[in-house]
Amino acid sequence: MNDFFYLIPISVLLGAAGLAIFLWTLQDGQYEDLDGAAQRILYEEDTPRPVVTSHSVKVGSSALLPPAETAPATAASGGRPHPGRLRT
């Protein structure tokens, strides 16, 4: 029975906080245009978006480094060509 003295004020405070947040969203205009986002997806934009491909160069990435196939054909030991690479 003593638990009700704690639970009732906590539930009233949580309900008041929920009501305050709901009233704040009403004043902020959150519910003004409910169908706008659903309709906006159906229409094409006037300006096309830039195309991003997998070959795009990004700053700070390893895309600026040469691939392993174009690296020098010598192995680290002895200066001999690596067996898996072609001579250039």
Residue 6 in this model has a pLDDT that exceeds 90:
yes
Tell me what pLDDT residue 47 has.
75
Residue 70 in this model has a pLDDT that exceeds 60:
no
Total number of domains in the chain: 1
CB under 8 Å, gap of 24 or more: what pairs does 84-88 form? none
Measured distance CA(47)–CA(37) in Å, rounded = 18
Asked if the structure places residue 9 within a domain, the reply is: yes
CA distance readout (Å), 38 to 33, 77, 82: 10, 63, 59
Residue 51 in this model has a pLDDT that exceeds 90:
no
pLDDT band at residue 17, thresholds of 50, 70 and 90? very high
What's the pTM? 0.42
Tell me what pLDDT residue 16 has.
99
Asked if the structure places residue 83 within a domain, the reply is: no
Asked if the structure places residue 29 within a domain, the reply is: yes
Tell me what pLDDT residue 28 has.
93
Asked if the structure places residue 28 within a domain, the reply is: yes
Asked if the structure places residue 26 within a domain, the reply is: yes
- Residue position matching structure tokens 């002895």: 78
CA distance readout (Å), 69 to 19, 37, 56, 82, 88: 64, 48, 20, 11, 11
What is the extent of the structural domain holding 2? 1-44
